[in-house]
A and B are shown apart, each in its own frame.
Chain A
Amino acid sequence: MLRDNIHKALAPLNLEQVESGDYAKTGYHLEITAAPEQIPEVAKTMLSLGCFLESLTGLHYPEHFTLVYHFNNFGELCRTAVHVKVPLDQEAPTISHIYPGANWYEREAYDLYGVRFTDHPDLRRILLPFEADFHPLLKKFEASSADA
């Protein structure tokens, strides 16, 4: 079963949390929480098992950004969701050298939220005009001062 293979392959990485998801409720087969530094290793493991990157989403919370990576497989269905918490002023590592398709997803996350990715080959805006000076999807939290 692909899900068990992924479980086994990710065991040596000592991730914060690896557990089976409730497919009927959330659509995930595997839910993973990881630290930002561990993302490239997770991506390498998923690529070695033949999974492709379905989507990369950003979420803005008062104290941190959450990046959610979704992986899936062409042969056997196994949707893996990787939640990564990135503190507001920190950069996240890029996986565009492992998955070239992530290049544009990371540019989109930068454009909409301002999350920077270290070692990204070409980190510039992709949806908004190049000279825009705001990040549109940042939320306005009353308590925090880091706003758009």
Chain B
Amino acid sequence: MLERGIEEKTYVLNLGPQHPSTHGVLRVELEMEGEFITKADPDIGYGHRGHEHMAENRTYPQFLPNMGRVDYLHALAYNQGYCMAVEKLIGLEVPERGEFVRVITAELNRITSHLLWVGAYLLDLGAFTPFLYCFDDRENALDLLDYLTGSRLTYCFYRFGGVPVDIDDDFTEGCRKFIQRLRSRWVDYDNLVTKNVIFIHRTRDVGLITQEQCIRYGLTGPMVRGSGLPFDIRRSEPYSVYPRFDFEIPIGERGDVMDRYLVRLREMEQSLRIIEQALDKIPNGPIMAEKVPKRIKPAAGEVYMAVESARGEFGCYIVSEGNPKPYRIKLRVPSFGNLSILPEIAVDTLVADLVAILGSIDVVVPEIDR
């Protein structure tokens, strides 16, 4: 027991910016009482590269490669959001086959992003084997995307008006083989991870997020779906050709870390379903719009385009004044809102739980810092 002469004080511990479990350069200032956290204050900005400043100094096509680097794990969703926003501004319509190619590649990219999340998250929790399993599956998907686009990570594949390269029979066959193989792996993941006693103990009833908190903090993506709200932009604000596909939106019940993990695992299966249906239904035709203006000079106005990325809602807000360079591009990134709930749910948890919670938010720090 504590006697006189011993003062109980809190002390400040620094988590990051260089830390194996912060998924990028994030610093969390922890005020702790023993092992329990009394206050957690994230400090972002260590990855600030000035994307929005670059946007004001670049023309619309020159800014396109930046979008692959904002969130490099689901770069094609950001490409898609930006291209669709500009196409809305200038009134350009993408042909159907182009939209199908966009959907197939974006869903493949979503699978690679979720696979990397599962691997890296379990590495944080201390398990090394799932990391190798996930990266192996991921390499198969990256082979397909590399064959088509030329890049493995920071894609700049979509153009205003469509896509530049068409998919061929090799790609289609490779996709089908990949779908078959990944489906056979779900059993392995279940046995290795989902039914693992240590994993269950570390993730059940940890980091609970209520639906009311989702509204107050503006959370989107698997965070919201893990708490029971079936909010997915592909379903509630459909864009591209998503209305033609039949897929479910997996939701959780309690809003804890385990639910968010299950939501992401099941989302991968739904993405496989979308790719299968897209490969079956893809029409023949052109992949680029016919009349793409040589100089992209939209009329004055603004547009807000939302797409569903692996982390949540990516919103591209463009304000144009009629010049070839945009007046302002705001990238509404999902991790920014998702991370802002950390100070509230980290109170009265252990440091080990904080690592589990932080990983389940699925932050990509360069996208927060832009």
Is B181 at the interface (CB under 8 A from chain A)? no
Given A103-B340, A126-B44, A129-B45, the answer on whether A55 and B215 have CB atoms closer than 8 Å is: no
Whether A26 and B340, one on each chain, are in contact in the complex, defined by CB atoms closer than 8 angstroms, is: no
Give the residues in chain B near A52, CB-CB below 8 Å. 214-219
Whether B303 and A101, one on each chain, are in contact in the complex, defined by CB atoms closer than 8 angstroms, is: no
Whether B330 and A101, one on each chain, are in contact in the complex, defined by CB atoms closer than 8 angstroms, is: no
B contact residues, total (Cβ < 8 Å): 40
Whether B218 and A53, one on each chain, are in contact in the complex, defined by CB atoms closer than 8 angstroms, is: yes
Contact code string A23-60 (vs B, CB < 8 Å = 1, else 0): 01111100000000000000000010011111101010
- Interface positions, chain A 58-77, Cβ under 8 Å from B, are 59, 68, 70, 72, 74, 77
Q: How far is the CB of A17 from chain B (nearest CB, A)?
A: 15
Is A116 at the interface (CB under 8 A from chain B)? no
Give the residues in chain B near A51, CB-CB below 8 Å. 215
Whether B237 and A77, one on each chain, are in contact in the complex, defined by CB atoms closer than 8 angstroms, is: yes
Selected from B53, B88, B315, B336, the residue in CB contact (under 8 A) with A70 is: B315
**C-alpha spacing A107/B84, complex, angstroms:** 29
Whether A47 and B237, one on each chain, are in contact in the complex, defined by CB atoms closer than 8 angstroms, is: no
Given A27-B306, A54-B315, A55-B317, the answer on whether A74 and B214 have CB atoms closer than 8 Å is: yes
Is A1 at the interface (CB under 8 A from chain B)? no
Q: How far is the CB of A99 from chain B (nearest CB, A)?
A: 6
**C-alpha spacing A99/B216, complex, angstroms:** 5
Whether B217 and A26, one on each chain, are in contact in the complex, defined by CB atoms closer than 8 angstroms, is: no
- Interface positions, chain A 101-142, Cβ under 8 Å from B, are 101, 103-105, 108, 112, 125-129, 136-137, 139
Is A100 at the interface (CB under 8 A from chain B)? yes
Is A84 at the interface (CB under 8 A from chain B)? no
**C-alpha spacing A128/B370, complex, angstroms:** 11
Selected from B215, B217, B303, B327, the residue in CB contact (under 8 A) with A74 is: B215
Given A59-B319, A68-B317, A74-B229, the answer on whether A54 and B332 have CB atoms closer than 8 Å is: yes
Whether B45 and A55, one on each chain, are in contact in the complex, defined by CB atoms closer than 8 angstroms, is: no
Given A70-B315, A74-B231, the answer on whether A104 and B340 have CB atoms closer than 8 Å is: yes
A-B contact count (CB 8 A): 97
- Interface positions, chain B 294-313, Cβ under 8 Å from A, are 301-306, 313
Selected from B44, B301, B305, B327, the residue in CB contact (under 8 A) with A59 is: B327
Whether B218 and A99, one on each chain, are in contact in the complex, defined by CB atoms closer than 8 angstroms, is: yes
Q: How far is the CB of A75 from chain B (nearest CB, A)?
A: 8
Is B184 at the interface (CB under 8 A from chain A)? no
Whether A70 and B304, one on each chain, are in contact in the complex, defined by CB atoms closer than 8 angstroms, is: yes
Q: How far is the CB of A141 from chain B (nearest CB, A)?
A: 12
Q: Which residue of A lies closest to B337 (CB)?
A: A101
Give the residues in chain A near B45, CB-CB below 8 Å. 125-129
Q: Which residue of B lies closest to A46 (CB)?
A: B215
Give the residues in chain B near A128, CB-CB below 8 Å. 45, 48
Give the residues in chain B near A68, CB-CB below 8 Å. 317
Q: How far is the CB of A135 from chain B (nearest CB, A)?
A: 11
Give the residues in chain B near A104, CB-CB below 8 Å. 336-337, 340
Selected from B52, B218, B224, the residue in CB contact (under 8 A) with A54 is: B218
Whether A47 and B215, one on each chain, are in contact in the complex, defined by CB atoms closer than 8 angstroms, is: yes
Give the residues in chain A near B50, CB-CB below 8 Å. 136
Q: How far is the CB of B335 from chain A (nearest CB, A)?
A: 11
Q: How far is the CB of A38 from chain B (nearest CB, A)?
A: 20
Is B266 at the interface (CB under 8 A from chain A)? no
Whether A127 and B305, one on each chain, are in contact in the complex, defined by CB atoms closer than 8 angstroms, is: no
Give the residues in chain B near A127, CB-CB below 8 Å. 44-45, 48, 369-370
Is A79 at the interface (CB under 8 A from chain B)? yes
Selected from A59, A77, A101, the residue in CB contact (under 8 A) with B340 is: A101
Contact code string B111-131 (vs A, CB < 8 Å = 1, else 0): 000000000000000000000
Give the residues in chain B near A50, CB-CB below 8 Å. 215
Given A55-B332, A101-B337, the answer on whether A25 and B303 have CB atoms closer than 8 Å is: yes
Whether B340 and A25, one on each chain, are in contact in the complex, defined by CB atoms closer than 8 angstroms, is: no
Q: How far is the CB of B239 from chain A (nearest CB, A)?
A: 10
Give the residues in chain B near A108, CB-CB below 8 Å. 336
Whether B231 and A57, one on each chain, are in contact in the complex, defined by CB atoms closer than 8 angstroms, is: no
Selected from A26, A59, A136, the residue in CB contact (under 8 A) with B304 is: A26
Q: Which residue of A lies closest to B330 (CB)?
A: A57
Give the residues in chain A near B313, CB-CB below 8 Å. 54
Is B202 at the interface (CB under 8 A from chain A)? no
A-B residue pairs in contact (CB < 8 Å), sample of 21: A26-B88, A27-B303, A27-B306, A52-B215, A54-B332, A74-B229, A74-B231, A77-B236, A77-B237, A100-B340, A101-B216, A101-B217, A101-B337, A104-B337, A104-B340, A127-B45, A127-B369, A127-B370, A136-B50, A136-B53, A137-B53
8 A-B pairs with least C-beta separation? A101-B217, A55-B332, A101-B218, A27-B304, A57-B330, A127-B45, A74-B231, A52-B218
